[in-house]
Amino acid sequence: MKIPIEISARHVHLCPRDVEKLFGRGKRLTSQTPISQTGQFLSRERVTLRTTNSEFANVGIVGPERRETQVELAATDARRLGVAAPVRESGHLTGTPGITITGPKGSVKITHGVILSKRHIHASKKDAKRHGLRHGQLVSVSIKGERAVTFHNVIVRVHESFHWRLHLDTDEANAAGLTGNEKGDVIV
């Protein structure tokens, strides 16, 4: 079964309290571009991620606000920052390292929340039913081309608001020679 691939560059999710600390009292994230998953958007606002080793400026924020602040890096980024970020599913932040996030009105030093995103498939309940997949299932995805790759241990996440997509980080996309808009084949 074919699946469209989306490449996630390093980005952050912010809780409402951290949005206020970074952008000012009473502020909310504002949408610059909707993204494929319903209701989510790349915000106009940007932050800087900083460690004693290095920093990344102009890092995107995916809104709307979430319950907990989370930073998603590629392993290349984590190495440059000197952060030992583990591979995790979104929201599974126990025991992950922290980082300093800076915006125009202030900084927050999170004590945990920095992860390498575990590669995953978004599927609606309808998609899951059609393809015989279940929430939490691990599948492989095969990608053709000069740098053909099969990614294993891809986790399926099912939610009625989801759209049928494979999400990879920039290291994974580069290893597969992807630039965006390619498709993969899901292998169960």
- Residue from 89, 150, 161, 185 that binds its own copies (CB under 8 A)? 150
Residue 35 found at the interface with its own copies (CB under 8 A): no
Question: In 3-state terms, what secondary structure has residue 63?
Answer: strand
Rounded least distance, CB 170 to its own copies, Å: 6
Residue 30 found at the interface with its own copies (CB under 8 A): no
| Residue with smaller CB distance to its own copies, 125 or 152 | 152
Residue 44 found at the interface with its own copies (CB under 8 A): no
Question: In 3-state terms, what secondary structure has residue 146?
Answer: coil
Q: Look up residue 188 and give its two tokens.
A: 């169960």
- Residue from 28, 152, 183, 185 that binds its own copies (CB under 8 A)? 152
How many Cα atoms are found within 13 Å in the side-chain-facing hemisphere of 58?
A: 0
Q: Where are the beta strands (DSSP E) in the chain?
A: 2-8, 11-13, 31-34, 41-50, 55-63, 70-73, 87-88, 99-103, 106-110, 114-117, 120-123, 138-143, 149-158, 165-169, 183-187
The span of 30-38, 100-108, 120-128, 143-151 binding its own copies (CB under 8 A) equals 143-151
Strand 114-117 versus strand 70-73 pairing type: parallel
Residue 170 found at the interface with its own copies (CB under 8 A): yes
Phi, psi of 181 (to 5 degrees): 75, 5
- Residue from 147, 183, 185, 188 that binds its own copies (CB under 8 A)? 147
Residue 17 found at the interface with its own copies (CB under 8 A): no
Residues that bind its own copies (CB under 8 A): 74-76, 79, 87, 119, 146-153, 170-172, 174-177
